């Protein structure tokens, strides 16, 4: 099918760049891009909605929930201290 399209300048540039990079004719690059875009749209409609299935859990004995961020805090403190030393 032959048709005429008016492309925005940025889109035209993207197509020309892709054609040059892939060493393919512009016609082929446009057809592949349209095919990918239209197939994704159709697939997005037909895909099932993702559902999270929650479950009950408990902490392992001996793990203190108050200290979850302790290691992160210590590492952050070390990074700040090292940065301050290197700026001197």
Each of the 88 residues of the chain gets a pLDDT tens digit; together they read 888 989 999 999 999 999 999 999 999 999 999 998 888 766 656 667 788 888 887 777 887 777 778 888 888 999 999 989 888 7
CA-to-CA separations, 36 to 2, 5, 25, 39, 66, in angstroms, rounded: 20, 18, 17, 5, 49
Contact call for residues 31 and 18 (beta carbons, < 8 A): no
First to last CA, the chain: 69
Q: Is the pTM of this model over 0.85?
A: no
Domain map (residue ranges) of the chain = 9-46
């Amino acid at each position: 099918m032959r048709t005429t399209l008016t492309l925005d300048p940025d889109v035209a540039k993207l197509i020309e760049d892709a054609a040059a990079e892939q060493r393919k004719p512009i016609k082929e690059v446009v057809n592949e891009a349209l095919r990918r875009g239209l197939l994704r749209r159709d697939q997005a409609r037909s895909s099932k909605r993702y559902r999270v299935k929650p479950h009950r859990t408990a902490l392992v004995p001996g793990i203190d929930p108050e200290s979850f961020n302790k290691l992160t805090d210590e590492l952050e403190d070390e990074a700040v201290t090292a940065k301050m030393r290197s700026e001197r």
